A = this chain, B = another copy of it.
C-alpha cells in the first residue's frame, strides 16, 4: 500500500516542520538580538524597541513571531506588556547557537573584534578567579548594564553602575581597589566602554567576559 507510505512521509515532514519553525524564528538578526536582550531581563515592547534601535511596530512584529514559536511569553502589566523568555531551555538553545557559530566561523571573531575594538586593551579575569577575589574583598565588581537588567538579577556582590550615568558617579566608586566590570556577556560592548572610562582616570581594571547567565550556569550565586 503505497498510500500508507506516502502518509508516513507526510507525517515525518510535519514533524520536521515544527523543528524548522523554531529554526526560522532564529533566522533573523533582529529577533536574535531580542532573544539576547530578554536573556538579561524581561522587558516591554517599548523598552526593547529603544534598546535594539527598532521601530515599535517592527519590534512588535518580531516579538509576535517569537511568541508564535513559543520562545517568549508575554504578560500584561498595567498598560504595558512585558515579554520574557519562555523557558531556560531557550537560553540554552541561544547559547548553543552562539557556541556553534563562534566555533564554526572564523569570521565571527573578526566581526567581534571589529565590534569590540578595545577588547584586547583590558585584562580578562575568569569567573573562578573573580569569585576568589570577591571573597577576599580586594576587588570592586561593577555591573554596567541598564538598571532594569541589574534589578532582574546580578552577580552577588556587584554594584550597579550603568554605563549611561557612570561619568557622574565616578566618585562614588570605592577608591584604590582594582575594578572588574561585566555586562551582558562576550557580545556586549558596555563593559569595554566603562573600562575605557576608568583607565582614563588611572584606575586598574579588568573585564569579566561572561554575563549573568553564564555565571549562574557555572553554579555561582546571583542576587536580585
Which A residues lie at the B interface, using CB under 8 A? 8-9, 11-33, 53, 69-71, 86-87, 89-90, 92-93, 96-101, 103-105, 107-108, 111-112, 114-115, 187, 189
Residue from B22, B100, B115 in contact with A71 in the complex, judged by beta carbons closer than 8 Å? B100
Question: Hey, which chain B residues are within 8 Å of A92, CB to CB?
Answer: 96, 100
Cα distance A29–B11 when bound, in Å?
Answer: 12
Query: A92-B96, A103-B87 known; A26 and B20 CB under 8 Å?
Result: yes
Question: Hey, which chain B residues are within 8 Å of A87, CB to CB?
Answer: 100, 103-104
Question: Hey, which chain B residues are within 8 Å of A53, CB to CB?
Answer: 9
- Judge whether B187 and A15 touch: CB under 8 Å: yes
Closest B residue to A86 by beta carbon equals B104
Query: A20-B32, A26-B23, A104-B70 known; A11 and B89 CB under 8 Å?
Result: no
Cα distance A32–B22 when bound, in Å?
Answer: 11
- Judge whether B96 and A89 touch: CB under 8 Å: yes
Indicate how many identical chains form the complex.
2
Question: Hey, which chain B residues are within 8 Å of A12, CB to CB?
Answer: 33, 115
- Judge whether A99 and B89 touch: CB under 8 Å: yes
Query: A15-B187, A89-B100 known; A20 and B9 CB under 8 Å?
Result: no
- Judge whether A32 and B23 touch: CB under 8 Å: yes
Q: Please, could you name 5 A-B residue pairs with CB atoms under 8 Å apart, sorted by A? A: A16-B29, A23-B25, A26-B27, A89-B99, A89-B100
Query: A11-B115, A89-B96 known; A101 and B27 CB under 8 Å?
Result: no
Cα distance A10–B187 when bound, in Å?
Answer: 14
- Judge whether B27 and A27 touch: CB under 8 Å: yes
A217 to chain B, nearest CB (A): 13
- Judge whether B15 and A20 touch: CB under 8 Å: no
A192 to chain B, nearest CB (A): 11
- Judge whether B104 and A93 touch: CB under 8 Å: no
Cα distance A104–B19 when bound, in Å?
Answer: 11
- Judge whether B22 and A112 touch: CB under 8 Å: no
Question: Hey, which chain B residues are within 8 Å of A9, CB to CB?
Answer: 53
A23 to chain B, nearest CB (A): 4
Interface centre among A22, A69, A92, A114 (most CB of B within 10 A): A22
Identify the 8 closest CB pairs spanning chains A and B, nearest first. A70-B104, A23-B26, A16-B29, A23-B27, A11-B115, A24-B27, A20-B29, A93-B96
